[in-house]
Structure 1
Amino acid sequence: MSRLLACAILGLGTMVSSAAMAGERNVTLAVSNMYCAACPHTVKASLEAVSGVSKVVVSSKDKTAIVTYDDARTDVKALTEATTNAGYPSTPKT
């Protein structure tokens, strides 16, 4: 019985540590093709449509999008694909 309990505790600890590693992240994307006043709205809408995104701030002046997202539900690749599919290719800004 004690082995079963130890395995259960170990398994629970693994699940908790995996969940603790997932969470809210921020990324700044460098966004191409933003030339007019409507562009930031389109970029923002494309990013907000991605499941797991909680906040988007787009700057046409800086040609960036700062995205807050849940890394358990999405990733940077999905974010850059969303803007690219909307006509605004993006890459993580370093």
Structure 2
Amino acid sequence: MRLNFFRRFRIVPGLWLNLSKRSISATVGVRGLKATIGSRGKQITGGLPGTGLSATKVMRKRTKPADDTGRRLLEKALRGKGRSRR
């Protein structure tokens, strides 16, 4: 059996602190439009109040570009491979 936990505390009107079993997040916004920031990243949710319709856009965390040292070494090796040395 799976056990879930979620609790939301209103700090001031328009700002909530959300606690769950795995993470903590903060939500800011008004009815129909809100932004959430937490350990899993950022998301923006917009909806039509009273209809049950909403859409959420998850803003992925930016990752650092991969270290291209390996790619440069491979290119250098391939360039030198076609040449014959005498």
> TM-score scaled by structure 2?
0.24
Instruction: Name the larger-Rg structure.
Output: 2
Which has the larger strand fraction? Answer: 2
Higher relative contact order (CA 8 A, sep 6+): 1
Which has the larger helix fraction? Answer: 1
